[in-house]
Structure 1
Amino acid sequence: MDESGEFCEIENVSFENVHSDDLAEVCCSAASSGSNLLKRKLSGDQCVQPVSLLELENTEPYEKRCSSGKMINETMKEMEFKEGPGFGIQDQGMAVPHSDHHTLPDWEMEKMEIIEEVKWFPPSPSPLALDLKLDEKCIKIGRRVKDSRQEDSYFKKNILNDLLLAKSELHNIKDWCLRSARSRANPFELIKSAIFQNRAAIKLANLDALVDFQLTDPKDADGNSIVPNVAEYPELFYFADVCSGPGGFTEYVLWKRGWNAHGFGMTLRNDCDFRLDKFTASSPVMFEAFYGEDGIDGDGDITKGSNLESFSNFVLKNTDQKGVHLFMADGGFSVVGEEILQEVLSKRIYLCQSLCGLLVLRKGGTFLCKFFDTFTPFTVDLICLLWHCFDKLTLHKPHSSRPGNSEKLENCFLTFEYYFI
C-alpha cells in the first residue's frame, strides 16, 4: 500500500496451477497490512480486483441508497398494488396511507367486554298439556322451500335479504382468508379447547357459568341442589347427549360431576361417532353410547322414529322410568355451498332433537339444544311450542361461540308440574 492509500498492483505473479486456498493466501500475504485488508472474493481462477479504501469512504451509505419509502413502494408493486383503489381484498378501505406513524395509539378506545347477560323469554301464559295428541287432520304438507328469501313471515324482508346477501359473499372469499378473519373476529379464539378434546366443551362451560351452574347442578326454588355432587348422595346425576360426537358436552359434564354422574348418548356412526378414547379431562367410564333400534350395531340416526323410541326406552329403563336431569343436543352438518339454506336443511334435526329431549327428560330437568338461524316459520313455531312446554327459555349465543357462524343455544328450564326450574 503506498502513501496515497491505494493498493499497489501485483506484477509478475503467476496463478497457474494454484488452488483457491493457496491463491487467497498469496493475495493476503502480498498486502502490507493484514489487519486492515478486506476479504477477497474468488471466482474460478481469477481474483477480484482490490478495492480502494478511499472509494469505500466515499460510498453512499446503504440506508440512503435504499430509503424506506423506496423499499415500501417496491414491495407494494410486487404485491400488485395499484394507485387509486383501497387496500382491501375487494378494493375497499384506505386508498393511501394517511395516519401519523409517530402518534401513539389510544388503547382505551378498544375495550374488551366479557360481561355476558342472559335474556329470558317472558313466561308462557298457558303451558301446553304434555299428553296432547295430534290428529292426522292437523298435519299439513306445505311447499318445498328452495329459496330462504321467501321465509319472511316473522322477519323484516330487508333485514333478511341483507343477512342472506352477507352469507352469499362467503363464496367470494378464499378459504385461508375466511379462516383468518374468523379467528381474528373472535377475541376468545386463543382459549381453543383448553383441557378438553374440542371447543364444544368450552361452550357448555360458558353457558353453565351464565346460569349459575344449574346445568350441571340443578337447584330447586329455594336454591338447594336437587342432586348434590357428593359421594354420600344415593342418586346419580343423569344426562343425555345426542348428535354431539366426538363428545365435548359429555366430557365437560363428567369433568364437572366426576363419578356422581351417568350419561347416555346417541350419535351417528363412523366420522361423527363419540371419541371416548380422546377424553383428556375426565373418564368415559360413566357414559354409555347407544345407536338405536339395533343397539350397538345401529346407525345412531336420530331422525329415524325407531331409533328415537329405542333410545327413549333405553334411557327410561336405566333411570327407573324417571328420565334424565339434563338433555343436550349439538346436532349439525356441513352446508358448504348452501349456507343460505342452512336453517331450511336443518329442519328435521331440529324437530327430532326437540322430540328426543321431551321423551327422555324428567320433571326437574333441563333442555339444551343448538340452533342456527331462526327466521323461518318452521323454526319459530317449534321454539314457540317449546316455550309453552317450559317454564323458562332463552336463546343465547355465548362468547365462546365464533362470531363467524350463526349458532345459538336454546336453554330451557322446566316447571315442576310439566318440567321444572
Structure 2
Amino acid sequence: MVDYKQFHRFDPMSALIEETVNTLFNKSFSFKNSEPYFLPNPESIFLENSWHIEELYQIKTELNNIKSKLNDYCLIQWNEHTRKRNKAGSVQWYIHQKIEPEFMTQAWCKFYEIVSSFPLIPQVAISEESFTSVHLCEAPGAFVTSLNHWLKSQVPTVNWDWIATSLNPYYEGNTTERMITDDRFIMHTLEHWNFGPYNTGNVMDLENLDFIIEDCKTRNNVCLVTADGSVDCSDDPGEQERIVAHLHFCETVTALSILSEGGSFLLKMFTVFEQTSVSLLYLLAACFDSIHMFKPATSKEGNSEVYVICLGFKGTVFVEPYLPVLREYFKSFSLKAMFRRQDIPDCFVNQVLACAQFFKNHQCQVILDNIKTFSNDKNIKDFNLLKLKQAVSERFIEAYELKKLESEDLGIVGRTKLSACNNITSVTKSPLESYSERQIKSSLDPRSRLLILLEELQNIETVDKNYSFQQFFNSPIKLWITMGKPYRRIQSSKFATIKILRTQNRIFEIMDTMNLSVDFPTKENVVKYLESKNLSEMPNIRFLQFQHTSEQNNYELIHKVHETLKNCVEGDDIILIGYSLLSQLNVGLLNLSARFFVSLIFQPDSKVGYVVILKYYISDSEKESFEKLIEIAETAKSKNVMVLSVFSMLDLCETDWIKKLININIWNIKWRAKSTAEAIEKNNKQEENFQ
C-alpha cells in the first residue's frame, strides 16, 4: 500500500491526492452566534409578503447557468460518467468488504460520516445510557442501521429505541415518484414504523404529525430526530429548493414538536437561495445552540445536497409559543414569508450568503470538471483517479474508526436476512432521454403522448405461461389487517415493476383528460371466453367477473368474494375474470380464498387477460378468518376508511406463487395497452366514417 503522506514531497500527484481528500472531507460551514438569535413575537410571523435577497438570487442564477449545460446529455450516459468520476465511488465497496455492515447504501455512509463528525447523540443520552431517536422520511432505513452500527461500535451499553416514518410502501395510494420503494428492512421491522392513523406515512399530513407526537409520549426522551426527505425535481431541476420547501418546513415542525431539551436535529436540505430557506435556517439557529451545514464526502459532489446539523435544542418551553402558528401552515404552505426581512439580523444573512457561495463553488467546479472529461475515451483508465478513490476509502475507514461488529446478531435484522430479499420491483433506470427531449415529449398533444406510452407497453417482452400451485395453503393463518385512507387509483404496487406501472398510470391520467374509457375485459370478450372453454353451462363452476379499472372499491370486492365462497359446496371451482393482482388487499384476499381449495391456477387469455382459477372447493375451515375480515370491512366503511391488507407483506412474500405475480401483472398491463390501442383505433375509424 502506498503511503501518500510519506512520498508527497517527491511525488506531486500524491500531494495533490492528499489535498483533494482533505477538501472532500471538509465541506462544512458553521454559523457563528456570538449572541443568541431571537425570534419575533408569534403574532408577527407569516404576515409579510415573500421577499428575496438579490445576492442570493445572483448565486442561484450562476449555479443554474452551469447546471443548464447538462440539459442535452442523456441521463444514463451522464450518470454513468459521473459515477466513474465520483471520488468517493469506492467507499461503499470498501466498507462492504472490510466491515460487512447490515445494510450498505450511500445513505448509510453519509449518516456514519455525520454522526462521527458531530456530537449528534447528546452526552446526557450517552451518560444515562438510554435514548430514543425518530427518523423522518427514513425509507429504506439506512440511517437507522448506520446509527445502530455506530452505537454498537462506540457506546455499546446504551439502550436505544427508535421510531421511523416514511411514505408507506404498502399504501398503494402513494405514487412511485414520491416513494423509496425498497422495503427489505421495513418489512422486517414494521413494529418500529409509524405510518399515521391512515397508513399513508405522509410526513406533510397534520394527522400524521399528531400520531407521531402521541407515539413519542410513550417513549423515552427523544434526543435525536433525522429528516432525510426529498422530492423528485427532475422535471424542474432549477427550482429544487422551491419544490422541497414545504417538506423541509413540515420535517422541522415535527422535530420541534417532539425533541427533548438538549436534543439534536439532522435535516437534509439543498440550496439556500430562497427566503423560505433563510427563514427556516434562522428558526433553527434560534431554537438550537448551534447549527452547521455539512456535505459528506460520500454525498455526490455534483448535486446540491447538504445536511443541516442542529445541536442543543432549547426545549419545548422555548418553542411552544410558536407551534400553534407553525401548525396552521403544516398542510398548506403559506405564500407569506415566515419572518419579516427586518426580523432576521444582517449578520445572519451575511453568513447565509457566505454558506451559499461556499457550497455553490464546490458544486460548479465538479460539474465543469465532469463536462470537461465527458468526451474523453471511456476505455482509458485514469490510474490517478483510482489512487484517489482508494485514498478516500482508506481515509473514511481510518477517520471514522469503522470496525466490523463482533456478531451479526448485533444488527437490527441481520445482513443475511436482508440480502436474501430480492426486491426486483424497486429496480429502475434513469430515463433514456435527455432533459430537453423529455420537455419536448411533455409538450405534445394528449393523443400523441398516449399513443407513445401505449406503444412503449406493447413493446415489453412477456411470456404466455400457466402457473399452478397445489395445496400450498396449509400454513397457519396470521392475519395482518390494516386500514387506511381511501384512494381512487393504484399508484404503486409491490407486484409490478415501477417503470411499467408508472407508464400505465400516465396512460390513465391522459385518458382522464381526454374523457376516454375502455372496459377490461369487455362483456363481448367474456362471452367469447366462456364459449371457447364450454364453461357457461357447467353447474360446478362459479364465475366472478371484475373490471380492470382505475377505480378501487375494496369493500365491495371483499363482500363479492365472500358471498361467492359462502355458496360453494365441495368440488366447486371459482373462475375470476378481470381480477386485479396489483394491490396488497387483492393478493391477500386471493391467498385467504385459496385456502378453501385444492389448487390455485393462473392462465393467460388473449380476450380477457389472466384468468384466476380456484380449483375444487374442499373446506370452510378458514371461515372464522373471513368473518373477521368482513367485520373489519364493515367498521372501515362506517369510518370512511378502507381495508388495505389481509396479510403482512413479509408473510405474502414467503409464498411461492407471489414471485410469479410480477410476470402475470406485466403480461396483464401489456394486454390492456394492446386492448386500449385497438379500442382507440376503432373509435377513430367510427368518427371518420361518421364525418
Give the TM-score normalised by the residue count of structure 2. 0.38
Instruction: Give the AA of the match of 2:306.
Output: K
Q: Report the count of equivalent residues.
A: 284
Q: CA deviation at 1:124?
A: 6.3
In structure 2, relative to structure 1, the CA distance for the partners of 1:276 and 1:337 (3 Å cut) is closer
Partner of 2:36: 126
1:278-323: CA deviations, max 9, x gaps?
A: 48xxx976971001133xxx1011111111111111112223xxx4
Partner of 1:379: 277
Provide the C-alpha distance between the structure 2 equivalents of 1:314 and 1:237, rounded to a whole number of angstroms. 14
Residue of 237, 258, 266 corresponding to 2:165 = 266
1:241-265: CA deviations, max 9, x gaps?
A: 0112101101111222247211011
Indicate if the aligned counterparts of 1:397 and 1:407 stay in contact, CA closer than 8 A. yes
Provide the C-alpha distance between the structure 2 equivalents of 1:377 and 1:181, rounded to a whole number of angstroms. 34
Provide the C-alpha distance between the structure 1 equivalents of 2:37 and 2:52, rounded to a whole number of angstroms. 27
Indicate if the aligned counterparts of 2:264 and 2:309 stay in contact, CA closer than 8 A. yes
Indicate if the aligned counterparts of 1:182 and 1:403 stay in contact, CA closer than 8 A. no
Residue of 290, 293, 316 corresponding to 2:194 = 290
Q: CA deviation at 1:158?
A: 4.0
Instruction: Give the AA of the match of 2:233.
Output: V
Provide the C-alpha distance between the structure 2 equivalents of 1:307 and 1:417, rounded to a whole number of angstroms. 22
Is 1:251 the counterpart of 2:251 in the alignment? no
Residue of 119, 131, 149 corresponding to 1:237 = 131
Is 1:342 the counterpart of 2:240 in the alignment? yes
In structure 2, relative to structure 1, the CA distance for the partners of 1:244 and 1:408 (3 Å cut) is same
1:73-113: CA deviations, max 9, x gaps?
A: xxxxxxxxxxxxxxxxxxxxxxxxxxxxxxxx963463243
Provide the C-alpha distance between the structure 2 equivalents of 1:246 and 1:364, rounded to a whole number of angstroms. 28
SS of aligned partner of 2:161: strand
Provide the C-alpha distance between the structure 1 equivalents of 2:54 and 2:285, rounded to a whole number of angstroms. 16
Provide the C-alpha distance between the structure 2 equivalents of 1:273 and 1:419, rounded to a whole number of angstroms. 36
In structure 2, relative to structure 1, the CA distance for the partners of 1:417 and 1:328 (3 Å cut) is closer
1:100-155: CA deviations, max 9, x gaps?
A: xxxxx9634632433334442112633547xx8734x7434857xxxxxxx85153
Q: Which moved more, 1:397-406 or 1:163-172?
A: 163-172
Provide the C-alpha distance between the structure 1 equivalents of 2:238 and 2:161, rounded to a whole number of angstroms. 38
1:187-240: CA deviations, max 9, x gaps?
A: 1111137333421110011112212xx224x225xxxxx324xxxx6x532100
Q: CA deviation at 1:174?
A: 1.4
Equivalent residue runs for 1:22-421 within 5 Å: 107-108=13-14, 110-112=16-18, 113-115=20-22, 116-117=25-26, 118-123=28-33, 125-128=35-38, 134-135=42-43, 138-140=45-47, 142=49, 153=53, 155-192=55-92, 194=96, 195=101, 196-211=103-118, 214-216=119-121, 218-219=122-123, 226-228=125-127, 236-258=130-152, 260-270=159-169, 272=179, 277-278=184-185, 288-294=192-198, 298-319=199-220, 323-414=221-312
- Structure 1: where are the runs of 5+ without partners? 1-104, 144-150, 221-225
Provide the C-alpha distance between the structure 1 equivalents of 2:317 and 2:188, rounded to a whole number of angstroms. 28
Indicate if the aligned counterparts of 1:363 and 1:414 stay in contact, CA closer than 8 A. yes
Note the aligned Cα RMSD (angstroms). Answer: 3.1
Q: Percent identity?
A: 20
Partner of 1:46: none
Indicate if the aligned counterparts of 2:259 and 2:315 stay in contact, CA closer than 8 A. no
Instruction: Give the AA of the match of 1:414.
Output: G
- Structure 2: where are the runs of 5+ without partners? 1-10, 153-157, 170-175, 319-691
Provide the C-alpha distance between the structure 2 equivalents of 1:401 and 1:219, rounded to a whole number of angstroms. 27
In structure 2, relative to structure 1, the CA distance for the partners of 1:355 and 1:209 (3 Å cut) is same
| More helix by percentage | 2
Indicate if the aligned counterparts of 1:168 and 1:339 stay in contact, CA closer than 8 A. no
Equivalent residue runs for 1:7-22 within 5 Å: none
SS of aligned partner of 1:374: coil
Provide the C-alpha distance between the structure 1 equivalents of 2:254 and 2:278, rounded to a whole number of angstroms. 18
Q: CA deviation at 1:352?
A: 0.3
Provide the C-alpha distance between the structure 2 equivalents of 1:239 and 1:417, rounded to a whole number of angstroms. 16
Provide the C-alpha distance between the structure 2 equivalents of 1:133 and 1:289, rounded to a whole number of angstroms. 36
Give the TM-score normalised by the residue count of structure 1. 0.60
Instruction: Give the AA of the match of 1:377.
Output: Q
